[in-house]
Amino acid sequence: MSLLLFICRKVSKIISNLEELDTFVLTSRVKIWMFLINRKKGDVMSKVRSSKRMASTLAVSVLLSLSLAGGAYADSATDIAPGALTTPPPVEMNLNSSFNLLANKYLINYYSTISKVNSTQVSLNGFTGAGQAVDTIGINFVLQRWTGSAWIDTGSAYENGSNKTSLSGIKNFSVQTGYYYRGKTIHWINENGTYEEATYYTNSILAEQ
């Protein structure tokens, strides 16, 4: 009986120790899980705070850039160059040139430039190119003056030819000092009843002494 009692006590103690061990392990696991959960929450909140800070910084940067750009545009729009009677015209691009060429069958190239001859004259130089010899080919030249708010036509001329693959032309126009001028050229081709045309604008120049 004493031996049996001794064995029972040992077994009971072992079971008690195992229960304590299980409790310790369970408690440890809970602590570890809580630690991981809190750390993940902290990481998420940190990322959220970081994202908010980045978004705020980006927004401020964009607003500042727009403000500076707007200010620069306003300054450039109101500045009058020495010798000019108006503010400078806005810069315009010939954005449709490539798209027009893709849609054309015969008209494959065109452009024009403006240059100063003297204080009272400018020159428009234009070119029209075809992919083959065509029935008729031409350039319509239009000189435009900037009023300070809009472009108005002040002169025109034309150049044309027959049975040619290309055509070049130069036209001189009289100008008034103190104003900005640009060239508007219409390049056209007529081949076997098919008519194609495209418009090109030069940069602007100031007529000055």
Residue 93: what pLDDT? 80
Residue 127: what pLDDT? 98
Residue 70: what pLDDT? 45
- Mean pLDDT, consecutive 10-residue stretches, the chain (209 aa), reads 51 50 45 46 47 46 43 54 93 71 89 96 98 97 98 98 98 98 98 96 94
Tell me how far apart the alpha carbons of residues 137 and 166 are, in angstroms, rounded to a whole number.
7
H/E/C letters for each residue in 74-110? HHHHHCCCCCCCCCCCCCCCCCCHHHHHHHCCCEEEE
Domain 97-206 has CATH 3.40.50.300: no
User: Which residues share a beta bridge with 199?
Assistant: 186
pLDDT-above-90 percentage for the chain: 52
> pTM for this one?
0.63
Closest alpha carbon to 159 in 117, 124, 201, 192 = 124
Quick: pLDDT tens for 38-53.
544 454 445 445 444 5
Closest alpha carbon to 166 in 98, 110, 94 = 110
Tell me how far apart the alpha carbons of residues 91 and 150 are, in angstroms, rounded to a whole number.
13
